């Protein structure tokens, strides 16, 4: 059963990469938006670009994973193709993880391209032993968050619309646009409840020479993954009751 | 060996009971038809048997595996054709089949061969590289059936296989189902087309409002209806507005409106039926043109068992 699930998880992810992710709309959301956003900040203060890199990578992770993930399950439920997947010897959890893995892999490609591009362009040497686990955990978190919204709403546009609320809230409160320490206390509190804050913190550690540990950020990110993936599985199971 | 054993299967959605205490068996190599109008519980029953929906009560064994604990193993030997053709629109015919083969773990060396074989068998080989979304309804249906066969299942579920198809496509699909049956595949078929069930099925389970009301061979079901008379009457004038009057005149019979000028009367004493038909025609000035006594069809058996009109049933799904 585990073998069947693992095979199906891989096949579903590979199929999703071909049919949904490696297409212009997903690529534009995944790369163009974070790059344009960062460019706007760069033009305002060109000297601080190095400081913007963790934010740029964090936003690439956020937008590349959620770009299509937030709609693929919902979309397939409407077309009946998700039901077709469930007819195969695979559990509901396996199907969901296959969908999450698709978002994860696409996010990984986009993030790797952006990270390598910026690191080579401005000569940054991030600590890969920190960068890779923080990025991988973050990709899982935001891919599963997209899946949760996709399963939670009946209409594709509802999932996209409602996902924009936490997505943009995170962009503004994660510490990239404005330092968290300078925010009013209630906003500081809210920022601590958002996963992107921990992604940015972890990535900053990876890009700084400071000997601080991203362990807490990684643990919190792992917690967010659990917080998103299990309710998503439960909701999906309920849709097929 | 039994391919399926269903015992007291029940499915509730809140206060609605979609399937209630359904029990039946399917022998290996048999074609079993689940027959009933919309909302009779056919699709819900199939969804439970293929593991898409959990029963509220009861259990079933599919290919020797308990539904509650072994559905995952059973799925390896099950092929399912849902009532809608739900393959990936953006993938080609070939890629759809290959993807399904991968999901079912068909070995790499066999996958390509099996896919090509099925595409040829279903007459889709020339269009193998075209996207599923560009196919006609009949071609989509054929490829959906091919996808259900890609892992060489022992048991095939077909949910309303010919709904929405034109007459030619529906006929070729029925031929294909017959062919699969002759090759020894066990088939469970849901349909609301009575002639389809009559032609294809070894046995029929009739479901009404989620309950089994009859299980038998088409021949036996028809024989049970033979006990009553079947009389068809043709009038010059339109009868549909007055059929209630005829029903009142013949309390032991079932009056079915076939079209504007034709009525079918099931059951009752033939002499009495004839007398009442003449009286009915005179009182409404309908002009009785012809009266025929007929052998009961499966449709007549269905009507006498369920009390439902087959015409209403066909209309429900926009049927032919």
Do residue B52 and residue A79 have CB atoms under 8 angstroms apart?
no
By the CB < 8 Å criterion, does A79 face chain B? yes
Both tokens of B255, joined, read: 């009056």
Confirm whether the ipTM is greater than 0.95: no
Which of B123, B62, B50 minimizes the C-alpha distance to B93?
B123
Partner residue opposite A84 with nearest CB, options B53, B72, B86? B86
Asked if pLDDT for residue A136 goes beyond 50, the answer is yes
Q: Which pLDDT value is given to residue A240? A: 81
- DSSP for B257-311, written as a single string: E-SSSEEEEESS-HHHHHHHHHHHHHHHT--EEEEEE----HHHHHHHHH---HH
Asked if pLDDT for residue B104 goes beyond 80, the answer is yes
Asked if pLDDT for residue B318 goes beyond 50, the answer is no
What residue of B is the nearest CA neighbor of A80? B86
Q: Which pLDDT value is given to residue A187? A: 93
Q: Which pLDDT value is given to residue A139? A: 96
Asked if pLDDT for residue A26 goes beyond 90, the answer is no
> What's the predicted TM-score (pTM) here?
0.81
B105 contacts on A by Cβ (under 8 Å)? 4, 7, 89
Average pLDDT for B313-317: 55
Do residue A79 and residue B89 have CB atoms under 8 angstroms apart?
yes
d(CA A171, CA A26): 19
Do residue A87 and residue B80 have CB atoms under 8 angstroms apart?
yes
Q: Are A213 and A127 in contact (CB under 8 A)?
A: no
Q: Which pLDDT value is given to residue B319? A: 43
**In this prediction, what percent of chain A has a pLDDT beyond 90?**
48
Q: Are B58 and B48 in contact (CB under 8 A)?
A: no
Average pLDDT for B279-289: 88
Asked if pLDDT for residue B11 goes beyond 90, the answer is yes
A19 contacts on B by Cβ (under 8 Å)? 88, 90-91
Interface test with A, best of B53, B81, B86 (most A CBs within 10 A): B86
Q: Are A91 and A6 in contact (CB under 8 A)?
A: no
Q: Are B176 and B183 in contact (CB under 8 A)?
A: no
Which of A197, A83, A89, A80 minimizes the C-alpha distance to A134?
A197
Asked if pLDDT for residue B310 goes beyond 50, the answer is yes
d(CA B148, CA A140): 33
- Across chain A, mean pLDDT equals 88
Q: For residue B191, list its beta bridge partners.
A: B35
Q: Which positions ≥6 away from B311 have C-beta within 8 Å?
A: B256, B257, B258
Distance, C-alpha B161 to centroid of its chain: 8
Q: Strand, coil or helix: what is B191?
A: strand
Q: How far away is chain B from the Cα of A114, in angstroms, using its nearest Cα? A: 29
Q: Are B157 and B6 in contact (CB under 8 A)?
A: no
Interface test with B, best of A85, A89, A93, A234 (most B CBs within 10 A): A89
Q: How far away is chain B from the Cα of A238, in angstroms, using its nearest Cα? A: 10
Band of residue A212 on the pLDDT scale cut at 50, 70, 90? low
Strands of B57-62's sheet, edge to edge? B16-27, B2-13, B57-62, B65-66
Give per-residue burial for B148-170: e unless 16+ CB within 10 Å, then b.
Answer: bbbbebbbbbbbbbbbbbeeebb
B103 contacts on A by Cβ (under 8 Å)? 7-8, 11-12, 85, 88-90
Q: Which positions ≥6 away from B21 have C-beta within 8 Å?
A: B8, B9, B10, B57, B58, B211
Q: Which pLDDT value is given to residue B225? A: 65
- Across chain B, mean pLDDT equals 87
Query: Can you list the domains of chain B with their CATH numbers?
Result: 2-222 (3.40.50.300), 227-294 (3.30.70.100)
pLDDT in tens, B55-78: 999 999 999 999 888 888 899 999
B51 contacts on A by Cβ (under 8 Å)? 86-87
Q: Are A9 and A99 in contact (CB under 8 A)?
A: no
Return the number of CB contacts < 8 Å for A and B. Answer: 61
Burial environment of residue B16 by CB neighbours within 10 A (0 to 12, 13 to 18, 19 or more): exposed
pLDDT in tens, A48-90: 777 788 888 999 999 989 887 878 888 888 888 999 999 999 9
A86 contacts on B by Cβ (under 8 Å)? 51-52
Q: Strand, coil or helix: what is A73?
A: helix
Q: How far away is chain B from the Cα of A199, in angstroms, using its nearest Cα? A: 34
Interface test with B, best of A3, A16, A83, A84 (most B CBs within 10 A): A84
d(CA A230, CA A217): 20
Q: Which positions ≥6 away from B47 have C-beta within 8 Å?
A: B53
d(CA B29, CA B79): 14
């Amino acid at each position: 059963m585990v073998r069947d699930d693992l095979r199906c998880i891989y096949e579903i992810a590979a199929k999703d990469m071909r049919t949904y992710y490696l297409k212009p709309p997903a690529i534009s959301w995944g790369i163009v938006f974070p790059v344009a956003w960062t460019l706007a900040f760069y033009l305002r203060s060109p000297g601080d670009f190095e400081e913007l890199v963790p934010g740029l990578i964090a936003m690439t992770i956020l937008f590349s994973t959620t770009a299509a993930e937030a709609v693929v399950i919902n979309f397939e439920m409407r077309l009946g193709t998700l039901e077709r997947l469930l007819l195969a010897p695979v559990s509901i959890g396996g199907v969901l993880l296959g969908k999450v893995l698709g978002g994860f892999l696409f996010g990984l490609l986009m993030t790797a391209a952006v990270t390598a591009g910026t690191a080579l362009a401005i000569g940054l040497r991030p600590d890969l032993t920190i960068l890779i686990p923080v990025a991988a955990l973050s990709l899982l978190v935001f891919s599963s968050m997209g899946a949760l919204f996709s399963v939670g709403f009946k209409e594709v546009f509802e999932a996209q619309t409602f996902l924009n609320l936490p997505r943009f809230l995170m962009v503004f409160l994660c510490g990239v646009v404005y330092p968290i320490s300078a925010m009013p206390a209630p906003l500081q509190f809210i920022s601590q409840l958002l996963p992107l804050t921990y992604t940015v913190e972890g990535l900053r550690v990876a890009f700084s020479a400071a000997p601080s540990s991203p362990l807490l950020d990684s643990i919190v990110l792992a917690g967010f993954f659990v917080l998103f993936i299990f309710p998503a599985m439960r909701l999906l199971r309920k849709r097929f009751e | 060996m039994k391919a399926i054993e269903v015992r007291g299967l029940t499915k509730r959605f809140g206060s609605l009971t979609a399937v209630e205490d359904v029990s039946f068996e399917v022998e290996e190599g048999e074609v079993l038809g689940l027959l009933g109008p919309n909302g009779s519980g056919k699709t819900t029953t199939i969804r439970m048997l293929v593991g898409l929906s959990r029963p509220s009560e009861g259990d079933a064994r599919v290919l020797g595996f308990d539904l509650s604990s072994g559905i995952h193993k059973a799925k390896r030997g099950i092929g399912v054709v849902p009532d809608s053709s739900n393959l990936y629109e953006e993938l080609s015919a070939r890629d759809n089949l290959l993807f399904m083969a991968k999901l079912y773990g068909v070995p790499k060396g066999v996958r390509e061969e099996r896919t090509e074989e099925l595409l040829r068998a279903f007459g889709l080989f020339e269009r193998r590289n075209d996207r599923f979304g560009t196919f006609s309804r009949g071609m989509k249906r054929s490829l959906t059936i091919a996808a259900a066969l890609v892992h060489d299942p022992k048991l095939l579920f077909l949910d309303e296989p010919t709904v929405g198809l034109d007459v030619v496509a529906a006929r070729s699909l029925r031929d294909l189902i017959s062919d699969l049956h002759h090759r020894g595949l066990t088939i469970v078929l849901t349909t609301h087309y009575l002639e389809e069930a009559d032609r294809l099925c070894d046995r029929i389970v009739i479901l009404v409002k989620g309950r089994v009301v009859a299980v038998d061979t088409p021949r036996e079901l028809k024989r049970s209806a033979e006990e009553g008379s079947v009389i068809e009457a043709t009038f010059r004038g339109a009868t549909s507005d007055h059929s209630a009057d005829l029903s009142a005149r013949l309390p032991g019979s079932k009056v079915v409106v076939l079209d504007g000028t034709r009525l079918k009367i099931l059951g009752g004493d033939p002499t009495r039926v004839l007398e009442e038909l003449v009286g009915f025609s005179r009182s409404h000035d309908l002009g009785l043109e012809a009266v025929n006594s007929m052998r009961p069809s499966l449709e007549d058996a269905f009507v006498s068992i369920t009390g439902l009109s087959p015409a209403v049933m066909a209309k429900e799904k926009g049927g032919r």
